[in-house]
Structure formats: C-alpha cells, structure tokens
Amino acid sequence: MNLLRRPLMKTIFSLLLLTTFLLWQPSLTLAEHDGKIQILLLGDSTTEGSIPRRLKPEGPHLESVMEQLLAAEGDLPPCHVINSSLSGEYIKRLFDSGRYDRDAAKLPGVDYVFIRYGLNDRAKRENFTENFPKDFHDLLARLRKDHPNAVLVPMTVIPFSNEEVSKEINDLVFQVAKEENLEVFDIYPRYAAELKKGFNMLNYRRYPVEKVPEKYQDLVKPFIMGGRVVVMANELDPILGDLPGWYSDRHPNLAGYNVIADETVKYLAPKLRARKSVEKSGK
C-alpha cells in the first residue's frame, strides 16, 4: 500500500511546490497587451535619442531595434517596446512636469520597465546624493502602484561622464536596488568595452557653427541643425576632427543605441525564456 501511494504523494507534492512558486512570483502574472509582452523604457536623452531621430527619422531606433532583436531570437513571445524618455529629464521633473501621469501611468499591460536616470539628476537636482535615491524610491513606488504586474529594472548610466562621476551615480542606483530587492541591469561595462574599440565611434558630433573656420562654412552647411553642425558619426572627422571640442558631445549615435539595444536583449531574453517555461509548466 505504501509503495503504491509514494508516486501519488510525490506528484501531489510537486504540484504544491509549483503552485506555491507561481503564486510567490508576481512577475509571472501576464500583463501583456494585444498578445505582446509590453516593455517600457523610462529615461533621459541617452534613452530617447532625439538627435539620431532627427538625422535619420526612418530609423530603426532603440525600441525598434530591440523588437527586431527579440524577434530574431526565434523562441520568445512577441514583444512591444515603448520608449517613453525625454531629453533633459530627471526623475523629479518626470513627476513635476506631469509627464509620468500623462505618458506612463496608464499604459496598458506593462510587463517590464527599464529605468535609466541619473545624469541630469546629478546636474540639476539639488542635494543629489540624498534626493536622487529618494526620487528613485518614489518612482519605483508609483510604478508598483500603477503597474503591479511589471518587473522593474533599474539600470546604470552609460559612460557619458568621466569614470568618477559615473561611479557616483551608479553606486546610488545599486544602493536603491538593494534596498528595493531589485536586480540592476548594469549596461555600463558593455558600453565601456565597446568604447575601447574606438572612443568616438558611439557618439554623434554636435559643434557650434560659429567655431568652424570660415573656409569650412560652405562644407558644413548641409549639416547645420539649430545653429550647430550635427553629424551622426565620423563623416567630417578627417577635416574637422582637430577642432577643440569636436568630440565633446557624448550622446549616443545610432551605433551607441544599437549597443544598448543588443545588451538589453541579451539581458532580457533569458528572463523571457524562463518566464515562458514556468508559465508552460503551470498550464
């Protein structure tokens, strides 16, 4: 009798474990919308990509590249990436401007939120080391309230500033994540590694037109945008690359955003597979 009951008891125990695991994991609850996993990107200009969008409006840009790379994996559920980022933004401004309520709070079926702030917070938020973590906690609380089924993913900043400044910001991101029991997606190492292949290969050039020597004014006319010479990559480097400050703008060009897209998909794809596997087991 005992021998006959053992397989049955083992099966019941396994089902109880699986049920407990599914109930304990809120991130496994589907919040998808229109049959797609919804991925929200929140951040500043290094996420928005306003200049590449103006230079090459047809793209593809960060969110589209992420969708294409996720689809190229072949075994992942359909995904929709929403880039809700804004140049010059920091967390307090996201709230104070009303943009959070307008653009993020009511999005349907959000499954993942990638959060990348800190550069403008450090430059514009008073008492940065105290208020940035507080603001970050406030944002996470609002996201949990508005998107209770979403997985929240704090991100480090890219190497926009020097290493010391970047570390100051990123250490605070890790601090907040630890206090919130969240995993950090650390984009910094991959981006820094790519810069070793060519320090200026991932940033566009944006340079005041009045600082360009007179003899090159006709040359740069097709590249003038808002009183500046704006070039996606190295097209004018052989001629103007020696001008002081020519490479000073460190915002990503399309290549830079492709690094971000590629590394984000490498981070996310295994998690989507694991989620798919658990959901399949639960059916």
> What residues contact residue 115 under an 8 Å CB cut-off, 6+ apart?
42, 43, 136, 139, 140, 143, 152, 153, 154, 155
**What pLDDT score does 32 carry?**
57
pTM for this predicted structure: 0.86
Tens-digit pLDDT profile for residues 152-178 = 999 999 999 999 999 999 999 999 999
Which residues in the chain land under pLDDT 50? Answer: 1-4, 7-29
CB 176 within 8 A of CB 137: yes
Q: Can you tell me the distance from the alpha carbon of 240 to that of 234, in angstroms, rounded to the nearest whole number?
A: 10
Sign of CA dihedral 22, 24, 25, 30: positive
> What residues contact residue 257 under an 8 Å CB cut-off, 6+ apart?
49, 52, 61, 62, 65
> What residues contact residue 281 under an 8 Å CB cut-off, 6+ apart?
18
Tens-digit pLDDT profile for residues 47-89 = 999 999 999 999 999 999 999 999 999 999 999 999 999 999 9
Degrees to nearest 5, angle at CA 218 with 214 and 221: 115
Q: Can you tell me the distance from the alpha carbon of 182 to that of 266, in angstroms, rounded to the nearest whole number?
A: 18
**What pLDDT score does 282 carry?**
64
Task: List 112's β-bridge partners, or say none.
Answer: 39, 151
Report, at the CATH architecture level, how domain 27-198+253-281 is classified. Answer: 3-Layer(aba) Sandwich (3.40)
Domain ranges of the chain: 27-198+253-281, 204-249
